[in-house]
C-alpha cells in the first residue's frame, strides 16, 4: 500500500487542491438549503470524528501527557481553523467561488514572501503573488465577501505558521484532529443556531459528510503532510496553485472564459511553482504523527 511519505510533496498539494475544489463546489450548491455556518460545522465535525477515531491512541497519549503550552497550541489551532472555515464560507456565499479562493490565497503567499530565506524564493513568491492578484476578476464585488476572503487568508497563513512551528508533537493528523475537535466546539453554537432542523435531514447530512471529506479531511491531511516535508515559504508558493486550478476548472467544466490577463496570471503561478521546487533537496524522513 502506498504511504503518503512516498508521494512527492508537490503531488500531495495538487491532490489536496483538486479535492477541496470538488468539495467547495458541492458546498456552494447547499447554500440555498442550509446556511454556510452549518456547512462549516459539518465540515469540521467530519474531520474531528474521522481523525479522532483513527488517531484515538495518539490523542489519548497527547491529552494524558499535555502541558499548558500544549493546550494553548491546540486552542490556537482549533480557533484558527474554525475562523478560517467560517470566513471563507461566508465569502463563498457572497462572491464567486473562484474570486473568493483567489483572495484567500493571498495569505499563504504573504507567508511565502516573509518566510523565504533565499532571494530566489522571494522572487518566485512575488511572481506567484502577482499572478494570484491578476487572477481576481474585475467588476463589482460584495466588499463584505471580499473582507471575509481576506480574513480567511490571514487565518490560513496563521495556521501554516503554527503548523511549521510546532514540530512533531502536533504534526500531521494529530494536530489536525485536535484542531478539528476544538473548531467543531467553537462553531457548534453558530452552526446549530443557523442550521436548525435542516441539520437533521439525512440527505443534507450525507452531502455534508461528502463536503467534509473532500474539502477538509482529505486536502488538509495531504497539505499538512506536504508542509512538514518542505519549508513554509515553498509550501505557500505551491498553494497558489489553488486559485489557478479553480480558474481552469471554471473553463473546463463550467464553460467560463478567461481574459488574456488571467491566462498570463496562471502562467506566472505555474512558473513560480516550478521555479520554487527546482533545486529543493530531498526532505528528511517525516516524523510519525
Question: Grid coordinates standing for 223?
Answer: 497539505
- What pTM does this model have? 0.76
Joined grid coordinates for residue 185: 466546539
Quickly count: other Cβ atoms within 10 Å of residue 260's Cβ: 7
140-155, pLDDT tens digit by residue?
A: 678 888 899 889 988 8
pLDDT value, residue 284: 46
How far is it, in rounded angstroms, from Cα 218 to Cα 21?
Answer: 12
What ranges do the domains of the chain cover? 4-277
Q: Cell 464560507: give the residue.
A: 89
Q: Which of 1-15, 131-145, 253-267 has the highest mean pLDDT?
A: 253-267
90-111 burial: b if 16+ Cβ within 10 Å, else e: bbbbbbbbbbbbbbbbbbbbbb
Q: What percent of the chain is modeled with pLDDT above 70?
A: 84
Query: What span, in angstroms and rounded, lies between the C-alpha atoms of 33 and 48?
Result: 24
Nearest to 275, CA basis, from 226, 225, 240, 247: 240
Mean pLDDT of 222-226: 83
According to the model, what pLDDT value does residue 287 have? Answer: 42
pLDDT, tens only, 147-201 = 998 899 888 888 877 777 766 556 566 677 878 888 888 888 888 887 666 667 7
Q: Rounded to an integer, what distance in angstroms lies between the CA atom of residue 251 and that of residue 263?
A: 11
H or E, element range at 238: helix 232-238
Query: Is pLDDT above 60 for 43?
Result: yes
pLDDT of residue 267: 92
pLDDT confidence band for 271 (50 / 70 / 90)? very high
Amino acid at each position: 500500500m502506498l504511504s503518503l511519505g512516498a508521494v512527492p510533496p508537490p503531488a500531495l498539494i495538487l491532490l489536496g487542491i483538486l479535492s477541496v475544489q470538488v468539495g467547495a463546489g458541492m458546498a456552494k450548491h447547499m447554500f440555498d438549503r442550509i446556511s454556510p455556518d452549518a456547512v462549516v460545522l459539518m465540515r469540521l465535525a467530519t474531520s474531528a470524528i474521522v481523525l479522532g477515531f483513527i488517531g484515538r491512541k495518539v490523542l489519548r497519549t497527547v491529552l494524558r501527557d499535555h502541558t499548558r503550552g500544549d493546550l494553548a497550541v491546540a486552542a490556537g489551532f482549533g480557533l484558527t481553523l474554525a475562523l478560517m472555515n467560517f470566513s471563507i464560507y461566508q465569502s463563498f456565499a457572497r462572491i464567486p467561488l473562484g474570486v473568493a479562493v483567489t483572495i484567500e490565497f493571498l495569505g499563504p503567499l504573504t507567508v511565502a514572501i516573509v518566510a523565504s530565506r533565499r532571494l530566489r524564493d522571494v522572487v518566485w513568491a512575488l511572481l506567484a503573488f502577482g499572478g494570484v492578484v491578476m487572477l481576481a476578476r474585475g467588476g463589482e464585488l460584495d466588499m463584505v465577501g471580499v473582507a471575509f476572503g481576506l480574513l480567511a487568508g490571514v487565518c490560513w497563513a496563521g495556521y501554516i505558521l503554527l503548523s511549521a512551528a510546532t514540530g512533531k508533537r502536533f504534526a500531521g493528523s494529530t494536530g489536525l484532529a485536535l484542531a478539528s475537535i476544538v473548531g467543531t466546539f467553537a462553531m457548534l453554537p453558530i452552526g446549530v443556531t443557523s442550521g436548525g432542523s435542516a441539520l437533521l435531514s439525512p440527505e443534507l447530512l450525507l452531502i455534508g459528510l461528502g463536503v467534509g471529506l473532500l474539502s477538509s479531511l482529505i486536502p488538509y491531511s495531504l497539505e499538512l503532510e506536504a508542509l512538514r516535508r518542505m519549508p513554509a515559504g515553498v509550501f505557500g508558493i505551491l498553494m497558489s496553485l489553488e486559485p489557478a486550478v479553480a480558474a481552469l476548472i471554471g473553463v473546463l467544466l463550467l464553460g467560463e472564459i478567461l481574459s488574456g490577463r488571467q491566462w498570463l496570471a496562471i502562467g506566472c503561478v505555474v512558473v513560480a511553482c516550478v521555479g520554487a521546487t527546482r533545486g529543493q533537496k530531498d526532505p528528511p524522513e517525516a516524523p510519525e504523527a
